[in-house]
Amino acid sequence: MSVPMRANVYLDSSGKHNKFAITKADSGRKVEDPELLEAIRLTVINNMLEFHPESSSQLAMGAAFGVLPPTEQVDVDIATQVSIKDDGPDRSLLYIETADRPGLLVELVKIISDISVAVESGEFDTEGLLAKVKFHVSYRNKALIKPLQQVLANSLRYFLRRPSTDESSF
């Protein structure tokens, strides 16, 4: 279902304070549907990564949103779980549980997009230091075939399990 929308950016005279509003084009009413807002958010992230790849490090660390990365490394040992199953003929459900960190959502969307898999919608939830992520994904508007599911799962497991090494340690 496609809903015509309008986006407006408002800046005050100093240029420091701005407001971004997304409204329904036909009524001018604010978009409040959580699924539609998530789809808009993922579209913005995907477009930033595609058309402004230089912004990926800022998006990943939350710097673009005024969130500062942690100054000390948090030692977390949370097992990473990745599963993919068909969710109808046109999409698959990707489920990930892993240690939460700043920029995780942006990194996941980038990894998935790098394999040419489309992220249609998603849910992101945290419980303490555990991130639980659900994405509806597709490849050329179809559910992922088993070999592509395996490639995606292996790529995500590799990325999420790779050890982080301090630059000064080598």
| CATH number, span 81-162 | 3.30.70.260
What is the reported pTM? Answer: 0.56
Q: How would you classify the pairing of strands 18-24 and 5-11?
A: antiparallel
Strand order in the sheet with 118-127: 81-86, 92-99, 130-138, 118-127
Quote the pLDDT of residue 77: 57
Q: Which residues contact 68 (CB under 8 A, 6 or more apart)?
A: 62
Helix (H) or strand (E) holding 84: strand 81-86
Quote the pLDDT of residue 45: 77
Q: What are 131-151's pLDDT values in tens digits?
A: 899 999 999 999 999 999 999
What is the b/e burial string over 64-81, where b = at least 16 CB atoms within 10 angstroms of the residue's CB? eeeeeeeeeeeeeeeeee
Residue ranges, comma separated, of all CATH 3.30.70.260 domains in the chain are: 81-162
Backbone φ, ψ for residue 100 (5° rounding): -75, 150
Low-confidence ranges of the chain (pLDDT < 70): 1-3, 7-20, 56-78, 162-170
Question: From the CA atom positions of the chain, what is the Rg in Å?
Answer: 18
CA gap 123, 65 in Å, rounded: 19
